[in-house]
Amino acid sequence: MNDFIAALPKAELHLHIEGSFEPELMFEIAQRNQIEIPYKTIDEVKKAYQFSCLQDFLDIYYAGAGVLIHEQDFYDLAMAYYQKCYENNVIHTEIMFDPQTHTERGIAFETVINGLQKARLEAKEKWGINSLFIMSYLRHLSEESAFETLKQSLPYKDLITSVGLDSSEMGNPPIKFKNVFEASVKEGYIPVAHAGEEGPTEYIWEAIDVLKVARIDHGNRCLEDENLVNEIVKRDLALTVCPLSNLELRNTDVMTNHPLKKLLDKGIKATVNSDDPAYFGGYMNANFVAVQEALNLSKEDILTLVKNSFNYSFATYEQKKIYL
């Protein structure tokens, strides 16, 4: 089964590039930029990666991203992820990046996007990997700050496909970003949002009714509301589910209780993704293997999940015909 999973060409729809920052590269870049990090060894870093909730993780994730300064750093970060795509047979990926994590520290939007774009072109050339970018607004910051980010993105609009919403979910409901999502859609960006990862079902309703998302990131908690499940099925919205993330952030107590199979059985178009693989212990194949083993998924289930990812990707119709 593991060989079957590894050999399948796959698409990834939920990946934070800052969450693919492996400790080894973090050390290298920190040293290069002469920035102190609070760890002396890789082992110390790995020990720090024990989370009891989303906020626990985010605090460490933002601190790690703080060593990224130059275009070369963003390029190196993205190339390391594309290398993992190649190793995991991921041929299409939709990469989220958090501009505000960097612009808040005085790094120019241009520095971030230029580094990522350089890597994207090289990964396409070297490994044939197709990718697109999702610019994610940080929900713990204000809508005004998201508007500022939207403005900064406009000269690079052609490089960005979609806008997302991530960071601390509790207390930051989707409705807080109603206006900036409307403005983003007017600019041609496709809206997605994290909802129902830790947050209640009301946040998923808001993501679909107010932000009018084309896909829901996580969305696991929709199972608590039967009307919501029916609505997600009716509106044909896919969920980007992240099994190892859910386990590491304690949104699932043990993998055998993971809701993925239930979601599929309800008719929801679920997909498997790695979210922040450097922090949660595995890339795409590891995520598939973990849920397959825990939930005893069949080859048919795996094929359904993989096909969902291609079908519900933001690839063009022509590109999807090639993939499928």
Residue ranges binding ligand ADE (CB under 6 A): 16, 19, 54, 61, 166-167, 194, 197, 245, 275-276
Q: Least distance in Å: CB of 299 to ligand ADE? A: 28
C-beta closer to ligand ADE: residue 6 or 60: 60
Residues of this chain that bind Zn ion (CB under 5 A): 275
**Beta-bridge partner residues of 136:** 164
C-beta closer to ligand ADE: residue 71 or 197: 197
List the single partner that 206 binds among Zn ion, ligand ADE, none, CB under 5 to 8 Å by kind.
none
**Residue 270 is inside which H or E element, if any?**
strand 269-272
Strands (E), 34-152: 90-97, 130-138
- Give CA 247 to chain center in angstroms: 16
* CB-based contacts of 71, cutoff 8 Å, min separation 6: 111, 114, 115, 118
**Beta-bridge partner residues of 192:** 215
Q: Are strands 90-97 and 130-138 parallel, antiparallel or unpaired?
A: parallel
Q: Least distance in Å: CB of 239 to ligand ADE? A: 13
List the single partner that 197 binds among ligand ADE, Zn ion, none, CB under 5 to 8 Å by kind.
ligand ADE
List the single partner that 283 binds among ligand ADE, Zn ion, none, CB under 5 to 8 Å by kind.
none
Residue nearest to Zn ion (CB): 275
Asked if 195 contacts 216 with a C-beta cutoff of 8 angstroms, the reply is yes
List the single partner that 54 binds among Zn ion, ligand ADE, none, CB under 5 to 8 Å by kind.
ligand ADE
Residue nearest to ligand ADE (CB): 166
Asked if 195 contacts 204 with a C-beta cutoff of 8 angstroms, the reply is yes
Catalytic residue numbers read 197
C-beta closer to ligand ADE: residue 8 or 137: 137
> 7, 29, 4, 33: which is closest to 18 by C-alpha?
29
Q: Least distance in Å: CB of 50 to Zn ion? A: 19
Q: Least distance in Å: CB of 275 to Zn ion? A: 5
> What is the spatial distance between Cα 293 and Cα 286, in angstroms, rounded to a whole number?
11
Asked if 288 contacts 249 with a C-beta cutoff of 8 angstroms, the reply is no
List the single partner that 19 binds among ligand ADE, Zn ion, none, CB under 5 to 8 Å by kind.
ligand ADE
List the single partner that 269 binds among ligand ADE, Zn ion, none, CB under 5 to 8 Å by kind.
none
Provide the 3-class DSSP secondary structure of residue 108: coil
DSSP-derived letter for residue 313 is: S
C-beta closer to Zn ion: residue 69 or 308: 308
Q: How far is CA 247 from CA 1, 196, 280, in A?
A: 22, 15, 8
**Beta-bridge partner residues of 217:** 194, 240
C-beta closer to Zn ion: residue 22 or 275: 275
C-beta closer to ligand ADE: residue 8 or 239: 239
Q: Least distance in Å: CB of 218 to Zn ion? A: 7
Q: Least distance in Å: CB of 296 to ligand ADE? A: 26
